[in-house]
A = this chain, B = another copy of it.
């Protein structure tokens, strides 16, 4: 499956899920937006801050145990939850 198909199928699967208010797919580690249901401005902010958070989380996991691997990150805030998958591109729901 070409990566564009993969992006589209991941995006449609996530955006269709109940309670999902937004999906942003971006490249790693740059955080460049591939596909997003949010505004351009908000997508860019997400791309930047989430790629930085993923990098710090990955380093944290490696510092604790260099045989371990970051699989998923959940950021619960007062207003919603951000779910972050550190795959070759990452998707998160706001």
Contact = CB atoms under 8 A, between A and B. Distances in A.
B78 A68 contact: yes
Interface in A63-82: 63-65, 67-80
A45 interface: yes
Which of A42, A48, A57: most chain B CB closer than 10 A? A57
Interface residues of A, number: 31
A60 interface: yes
Interface of A: 42, 45-46, 48-50, 52-53, 56-57, 59-61, 63-65, 67-80, 94
16 contacts: A48-B63, A50-B60, A56-B56, A57-B75, A60-B75, A61-B77, A64-B94, A65-B79, A69-B78, A70-B75, A70-B77, A71-B77, A72-B74, A73-B75, A74-B74, A74-B76
